[in-house]
Amino acid sequence: MFGVLRPVATLLVGVALLLTGHGLLTLLLPLRGAAEGFDAVAIGLLGSAYFAGFVAGCLHGPHLVRSAGHIRAFAAVVCGVSAVAFAYPLLVGEVPWAVMRFGFGYGLAVFYLVVESWLNDRATNATRGLLLGTYIMINHAAMAGGQMMLFAYPVSGFELFALAGILLSVAAIPVALTRLPQPPPITEVRFRPGRLWRASPAGLVGSLMVGVANGAFWGLGPVAAMGFGLDARGAAIFMTVAVLAGAVTQVPVGRLSDRMDRRLVLAALLVLAIATGLALFLAAPGGLALLALSALFGAVALPCYSLAAAHAYDHADPSDYVGTASSLLLVNGLGSILGPVLAALLLQAAPGGGLFLFMAATHATLLAFILWRLRRRAAPALRESFDVAATSPATIGAVLTPASAGEGVPPAAN
């Protein structure tokens, strides 16, 4: 294990540092926005702007990397996102923050693209699962660790933004100084949602609707937590508990889906997510009950994208894994753009629980579609085994990397 990870240790350290800063900002911005008087719709737009930038980075990023090279493109975007972190408290306003969130999302997409190109270039069929699985677990842990840094300083000050900016800045050091050779040039990738629909309607619709629900959760979860009566630190614990619970259940749920129709497992998770969302909306709990429901929600809702993506791979031709991954990424990102804005309307009407009512309705819509597809199509006889790295959504941070497409395995997708 250590022999596989040692050559890419500098890359993984850079990822951990940057994702820690990103995790801090993901939680800090909604809380600071609420303290500055932003309404729920404005905060939702910040989340939508980030995902719009992320999708733009996935579409345009390969052109940037091809023209500038991996190292220069990486250094440019890391400098950019670091500058944005310091600029947030200097340019407080809904429009400036939305523009900066778009730029931040673009930079993060290019960052992931460069790093994952390196990781895929260093991986073989025998080591890819360990390497990319470790990478995704670092993503989870760093995001959760960054959220807990909210305890260090008050939300109203400059210090937390500076801390995030420092982490983002120093993340460039281990990657820029790496002795690994640059990977081959990034190839063109064609996004073909129509082909994905013909191959796997459940995979495409599942990716879209989970993007709507989870995009709303990432964009407005901290505000909803405060709507339940928590302070900023309580909101940090609320979000971290959900994220960690979702990380823990990813692989067991995926392995279970290897043994039966993945759509049945997805349907079961959706039923539990609906019940948990309605409980949060109707009971408006506090204290340990609220944290327990947060953990349960994260455990059952956050792995749903992985199952939808794995089901899509089951029906994809191995030669089209890159196209499948890119199409899943696109529709998941589009859903994540819509989710925060739509959910904000309910959150305004019902602080706290309104977000979870929206997600319950979104999950119910997807559940109805999955049940319909179960009647229309049997599960495939031959399926890909579950790969946590190949089925991680945009909110976790895996981006399509075509470097491994020729090896007949799904590349890291988001």
Evaluate whether residue 413 is within a structural domain.
no
**Rounded Cα distance, 10 and 389, in Å:** 19
Is the pLDDT at 96 greater than 70? The verdict is: yes
Among 79-83, 135-139, 141-145, 153-157, name the one with the lowest average pLDDT. Answer: 135-139
The answer to whether the beta carbons of residues 118 and 127 sit under 8 Å apart is: no
Mean per-residue pLDDT for 91-97? 93
DSSP-based three-state secondary structure for 259:
coil
Evaluate whether residue 414 is within a structural domain.
no
Confidence of residue 102 (pLDDT cuts 50, 70, 90): very high
Is the pLDDT at 98 greater than 60? The verdict is: yes
Confidence of residue 182 (pLDDT cuts 50, 70, 90): confident
**Which carries the bigger pLDDT value, residue 131 or residue 102?**
102
Give pLDDT tens digits for 18-63: 999 999 999 999 999 999 999 989 999 999 999 999 888 888 888 8
**Rounded Cα distance, 280 and 290, in Å:** 8
Evaluate whether residue 149 is within a structural domain.
yes
The amino acid at residue 375 is R
Angle between helices 70-87 and 9-35 (to 10 degrees): 30
**Which carries the bigger pLDDT value, residue 293 or residue 348?**
293
Mean per-residue pLDDT for 285-303? 91
* pLDDT on residue 222: 92
Mean per-residue pLDDT for 105-114? 86
Q: Domain containing 338: what range? A: 2-180+189-407
Mean per-residue pLDDT for 403-407? 40
* pLDDT on residue 414: 33
Is the pLDDT at 388 greater than 70? The verdict is: no
Which CATH number belongs to the domain containing residue 13 in this structure?
1.20.1250.20
Confidence of residue 193 (pLDDT cuts 50, 70, 90): confident
**Which carries the bigger pLDDT value, residue 288 or residue 317?**
288
Confidence of residue 94 (pLDDT cuts 50, 70, 90): very high
* pLDDT on residue 49: 94
Evaluate whether residue 111 is within a structural domain.
yes
Evaluate whether residue 412 is within a structural domain.
no
**Which of 51, 46, 19 lies closest to 223, judged by CA?**
46
Is the pLDDT at 407 greater than 50? The verdict is: no
Evaluate whether residue 343 is within a structural domain.
yes
**Rounded Cα distance, 297 and 274, in Å:** 9
The 10 Å Cβ neighbour count of residue 268 is 15
Mean per-residue pLDDT for 292-320? 84
Is the pLDDT at 304 greater than 70? The verdict is: yes
Angstrom distances, CA of residue 286 to CA of 255, 291, 330, 368: 34, 8, 37, 31
DSSP-based three-state secondary structure for 177:
coil
Give pLDDT tens digits for 243-287: 999 888 887 888 888 888 888 999 999 999 999 999 999 987 888
Evaluate whether residue 280 is within a structural domain.
yes
| Phi, then psi, of 87 in degrees rounded to 5 | -80, -25
**Which carries the bigger pLDDT value, residue 405 or residue 295?**
295
Evaluate whether residue 333 is within a structural domain.
yes
First to last CA, the chain: 25
Q: How many structural domains does the chain have?
A: 1
